[in-house]
Amino acid sequence: KAGVTQTPRYLIKTRGQQVTLSCSPISGHRSVSWYQQTPGQGLQFLFEYFSETQRNKGNFPGRFSGRQFSNSRSEMNVSTLELGDSALYLCASSRQGQAMNTEAFFGQGTRLTVV
């Protein structure tokens, strides 16, 4: 059974550009959550999608957005990139989402560097 797949693994972007990251969940999982991991702030929750609907959003500016498709694959977009957006972006999938108390499995992450 394939795990959570994130693409691309590495990205280098310039300030002011935008970027789109992709996450394919484990087959049968309908919930996808996104997290930003930095050395200073640790793992911070961005948003969670279930059946194409955003159910919860963390404390990030509107430049961070996401969506989920009918096959449960999810994308997140960051517009007008800032140096501080450099981080490892992780997605996690679960069968029903934490509200149903099911385990979340993480992808390998996308390492974004903004220069």
Contact range with other proteins by CB under 8 A, out of 11-19, 69-77, 79-87, 90-98 = 90-98
Name the nearest CA neighbour of 107 among 38, 32, 4, 1: 4
Nearest of 113, 96, 93 to residue 38 by alpha carbon: 113
Distance CA 107, CA 3 (A): 7
Question: Is the CB of 33 or the CB of 81 nearer to other proteins?
Answer: 33
Beta-bridge mates of residue 93? 32, 105
The token pair that represents 112 in the structure block: 């974004």
Q: Does 50 bind other proteins (CB under 8 A)?
A: yes
Q: Which is nearer to other proteins, 17 or 54 (CB)?
A: 54
Q: Which residue from 43, 51, 82, 113 is in contact with other proteins, where contact means CB under 8 A?
A: 43
Q: How many residues bind other proteins (CB under 8 A)?
A: 26
Q: Is 55 in the site for other proteins (CB under 8 A)?
A: yes
Token pair 């996401």 is at which residue? 66
DSSP state of 115: -
Regarding 110 and contact with other proteins (CB under 8 A), the answer is no
Catalog residues that contact other proteins under the rule CB under 8 A.
31, 33, 35, 42-45, 47-48, 50, 55-56, 58-59, 90, 97-99, 101, 103-109
